[in-house]
Amino acid sequence: MSSESTRSLPKPDPIIDQFVIDPDVVYLNHGSFGACPKSVLEAQVIHSLKAERELVRFYVQDAWSKIDRSRIALSCVVQCNPQDLVFVHNATTGVATVLENLDLKPGDELLVTNCEYQACLNNFERIAKRTGAKVVVADIPWPIEDDVDLVEAVHSKVTDRTKIALLSLITSSTGIRFPVEVLIPSLKDRGVETLLDAAHGPGCVPMNISAWGAAYTTGNAHKWLCAPKGAAFLHVRSDLQDGFTPLVVSNDALKLEEASAKTNRTPFMHAFDYAGTDDVSMYLTIADSIEWLEAAHPDGIDGVMERNRTMCLEARRLICDRLGVEPPLSESMIGPLATIDLPSGNMTAPEIKQRLLDDYRIQVPVWGTPAGTVSVRISVQLYNSMEQYEYLADALCAILKR
Ligand SMILES: Cc1ncc(COP(=O)(O)O)c(C=O)c1O
């Protein structure tokens, strides 16, 4: 720490002792890379060790019931039929898998918003280049008053050539909770299916995949469910599963019916559950991370989500007040992630971010918004405390001379 900041680091929530987070860093970026508790990492090691005892038995027999344990646990969190849920290593893979399964032709339009995650957009651009389809961007205003403007911005870009719409449940850099319960059905009424990017989904905000009705939903367990890295899911609506394949097909691809009858799962599930010699320990551990999170709050995962959102709103109010800026979104539009425009003067986003890290040991993203302003995005997870956001507010005031 530089001499500029002589005070000691703020205390996180005591639950941080269950994590391996560096005590010399004020970690306010669960949104980018979610921390995993030690006991959950240990559970993953135990799954791996058990597999290593008898690898053939594991890969051809024991793995199925263990994968299903996580499948069932996760389906309760995201509210869907477990049979419609498969595992992939991250949300970006989920998006790429869906795109590979679409029958795209020159002139087809792929609708995205200006708030989608760059890796997902890159996959959209790549498939568009290969197929002759076109990526069409709906510009979500920033700041934004309410859902109506957002819905209108998306609808305004729908044409009769629109093949699919990519929507985030919570946008990465701006932290907007999209009104998916309105958008998914209204797009469907216009003949457009949705690919929902719920990277910030399970454990972040309440989800109901069955009720929302998206054609495809992908999301991460390794963010807000605190699962080990490489643990994500893809939900494919039952009417779209026939012939839907993973990015890489494996041994049983040409005899899926026969193979899946032996493993007592649908061909869709079998195609994803058996991907050859792949590490599935992170998938098996999703059930353990859900158990950990359920036990971490008297009201279970619902209580965790409520606690994190409440603290996020309080932290956002505090930082906005201290900096003398208006919050860019109404409270109803955010979860445990919040973006705040900074009165940055002549300072660039990378400069502010680096000062926060070097002088105050704060790990938090500072980046641009769709309006070209500079913003800070805070995340709130169980190990964070209000004291940490007060410290961030002090640091921002000092750096930005407020
Ligand atoms: C909205 C959104 N979508 C997709 C992703 C990509 O997640 P992953 O890196 O796990 O593929 C992120 C990552 O932060 C994200 O915020």
Alpha helices in 190-346 (DSSP H): 209-212, 256-263, 267-273, 281-284, 286-295, 300-323
Domains of the chain: 14-30+299-399 (3.90.1150.10), 41-293 (3.40.640.10)
Mean pLDDT of all residues belonging to the chain: 97
Cα 24–chain centre separation? 26
Residue 56 CA to ligand 1 center (angstroms) comes to 34
Please tell me the predicted confidence (pLDDT) of residue 7. 60
User: What integer is the mean pLDDT of 240-255?
Assistant: 96
> Is the model's pLDDT at 5 over the cut of 70?
no
Q: 75-125, pLDDT tens digit by residue?
A: 999 999 999 999 999 999 999 999 999 999 999 999 999 999 999 999 999
Which residues does a 6 A CB cutoff place in the pocket of ligand 1?
32, 90-92, 117, 119-120, 168, 172, 197, 199-200, 220, 232
CA dihedral (33, 278, 99, 69) positive or negative: negative
User: Are the beta carbons of 162 and 193 closer than 8 angstroms?
Assistant: no
CA distance 388 to 37: 20
Cα gap 30→226, rounded to integer Å: 9
SS3 of residue 277 by DSSP: coil
Q: Are 19 and 389 in contact (CB under 8 A)?
A: no
Extract the tokens encoding 194: 């949705």
Q: Return the SS3 of 32.
A: coil
169 and 198 Cβ atoms separated by less than 8 Å: yes
Pocket mutation for ligand 1, best pick of 30, 89, 120, 171 (most atoms within 8 Å of C-beta):
120
Q: Please determine, for residue 38, whether its predicted confidence score (pLDDT) is greater than 80.
A: yes
**Ligand 1 centre distance from Cα of residue 228 (Å):** 15
Q: Which amino acid is at 289?
A: S
Ligand 1 pocket test target in 33, 87, 92, 93 with most atoms within 8 Å of CB: 92
- The reported pTM is 0.97
Q: Which two tokens stand for residue 257?
A: 């019916």
Alpha-carbon span 165 to 214, nearest angstrom: 10
Q: Tell how far the Cα of 106 is from the centroid of ligand 1, in angstroms.
A: 28
The Å distance, Cα 169 to ligand 1 centre, comes to: 11
* Burial (CB count <10 Å: 0-12, 13-18, 19+), residue 258: exposed
Cβ neighbors of 245 (< 8 A, separation 6 or more) are: 100, 101, 253, 271
Nearest one of 190, 186, 216 to 201, comparing CA atoms: 216
Helical spans, DSSP H, in 168-299: 180-189, 209-212, 256-263, 267-273, 281-284, 286-295
pLDDT of amino acid 273: 97
CA of 91 relative to ligand 1 center, distance in Å? 6
pLDDT tens-place string over residues 175-202: 999 999 999 999 999 999 999 999 999 9
